[in-house]
Amino acid sequence: MDPRYTAEIFKHLEMQNELLLESHSSISHQLHKLQRSKLLQEQSACSESANAYLSSTVGIAFIFRFSDDTSRVSLSTIKEGIFKVKIVAGHINLGGRRRDVDA
């Protein structure tokens, strides 16, 4: 690393740290505002099928879906019976065999 850029890099890292701290604070505040949190772990659970179970609650739900070799997680909010999927991430390889691939 070129010493001429050390101060500039340090300043950039400090700005990144401040932004991360602000983001953390904002996310924490949003999560604390929600009245309840639910964690569902079922083999074939998905946000749509969980709606009937969660529609009477207010809060946030993390819904995990697992198959033979992948997993997926959804973050959803529930307010006044309205179920909104905010973000979905997944298809994480768990190391199992895929069903659609011949042995």
Q: In which residue are the tokens 């309840």 written?
A: 36
What is the share, in percent, of the chain residues with pLDDT greater than 90? 1
Instruction: Specify the pLDDT at position 87.
Output: 78
Instruction: Specify the pLDDT at position 46.
Output: 56
Q: Is the pLDDT score of 3 beyond 70?
A: yes
Domain ranges in the chain are: 1-33, 35-103
Decide if 84 contacts 77 (C-beta within 8 A). yes
What does the pLDDT look like over 15-56, one tens digit per residue?
998 888 888 888 777 766 654 444 444 433 455 566 566 555
Instruction: Specify the pLDDT at position 69.
Output: 65
55's CB contacts (< 8 A; 6+ apart) are 78, 81, 83
With CA atoms as reference, report the closest residue to 86 among 42, 44, 43, 34.
34
Q: Six-digit token pair at 102?
A: 């011949």
Q: Residue 18 corresponds to which amino acid? A: E
